[in-house]
Amino acid sequence: MVGAGAVGGYFGGMLARAGVPVVMIGRPAFVAAVKKEGLLLDTVNFREIVRPEASTDMAAAAGANFTLFCVKATDTAATSKELAKHIAPSAILVSLQNGVNNAEEIRAASGLEALPSVVYVAAAMVAPGQIKHLGRGDLVVGPANKKTESIAKLFADAGVPCRISENLPGELWTKLIWNCALNAISGLGKATYGEIVSNPDARRLVEELVDEVLAVAKAKGIHPPGLEDPKVALAGAFKVAEQMSGTRSSTAQDMARGKRTEIASLNGYIAKQGAELGIPTPVNQALYTLVKLQEANFPQS
C-alpha cells in the first residue's frame, strides 16, 4: 500500500483485518504509530485495531503481488518513479486516486502500467495511525479480465465491495463529476457536504459545475453511465452529498492542514480540457484559481 493516508489506511486496513499480509508505506509519523500501537479503524460498523506491517522505505514494495497506489495526484510522478525501482514485474499495480488520468500519469513518469479504479469512501486520518471512516467504502475496476477479477476478489474477500464495469472511463468521470461539483466548494466554504446541499446558492453553483463537466465529457466522447442527462447528474451529486452529509471533502481537509490539494486534477483538469476543446468552463476555472491562490499562501512543506 503505497501512500498510507486516509484512503490507503482504510482499504489497506480492511485487507489486513481479513488476514491479507499488508505492508503500508507511509510517512514516518504514520509508520511509527502503526508499529507501536497498530492501525485503528474507527468505522461506521466497527472499531478495531489491526496490525499491518509499515515502512517508510519504498523498497518494502518488492515482492508484493498487488501494489495499491494511493498517493495524492500531486505526488504521482515522483512516487511512481521511485516505486519503479522496486516493484516486482509480476505485480498488479492499481491506482486508488482521485482524477481520471492517473494511469496515464504513472505510465508517463515511470513506465509502469497501472490499472485505474474508482474509489468511493469518506475517511480521514484523525491522527497518525488512526482512520475515521464516515461512509461508503467501495471500488470500481474494469473491464473484466483476469487482473480486474483478481482485484475484485481480493477486496470482496475482505468485505470491500468491488464492482467490475465495462465502461470504466465513464465510471471515472462519474466520480469526477461529484469531485468537481463538491470538493472545491467544501474547501473554500469550509463546509460539509450537508451544508452545501442545504444552501440554495451553493446548490446553484453545483448545478453550473455539473453542467460544465458534462459538456466537456460529451466533447471528449465520454459517457458517464446513466448521467448524461444534466438533471439526473445533478440529482446524483446531491445524493452523494446527502449520503456523506457530515463530511468535508478531501480538498477541504488538505486546505485546513495547509497542504497542497488535488485541485489541478479536478476542477483544474476540467478547465484545461475545456480550454483545449473550446468548451466554456468559467465556474471550474474560478474555483481552481481560488484554491490555487490560497495554496500559494500555505507554508512550504
Q: What is the pTM of this model?
A: 0.93
| C-alpha cell belonging to residue 290 | 481560488
Digit-coded pLDDT (tens) for 120-173 = 998 889 999 999 998 889 999 999 999 999 999 999 999 999 999 999 999 999
220-239, pLDDT tens digit by residue? 999 999 888 999 999 999 99
List the domain boundaries for the chain. 6-164, 168-295
CA distances from 244 to 27, 123, 132, 194, 241 (A): 28, 10, 13, 7, 5
* Residue-averaged pLDDT of the chain: 95
Q: Which of 23-37, 86-100, 287-301 has the lowest mean pLDDT?
A: 287-301
Residue 300 pLDDT more than 80?
no
Distance CA 173, CA 97 (A): 13
Q: Greatest CA span in the chain, whole angstroms?
A: 54
Cell of 14: 480492511
Per-residue pLDDT band for 216 (boundaries 50, 70, 90) equals very high
Give 6-164's CATH code, choosing from 3.40.50.720, 3.40.30.10, 3.40.1390.10, 3.30.530.20: 3.40.50.720
Q: Which three cell numbers stand for residue 164?
A: 467490475
d(CA 258, CA 225): 35
53 DSSP 8-state letter: E
Task: Reply yes or no on whether the pLDDT at 301 is more than 60.
Answer: no
Which CATH number does the domain 168-295 belong to among 1.10.1040.10, 3.40.50.10490, 3.20.20.10, 3.40.1260.10?
1.10.1040.10
Pairing type for strands 92-95 and 114-116 reads: parallel
pLDDT tens for residues 163-197? 999 999 999 999 999 999 999 999 999 999 999 99
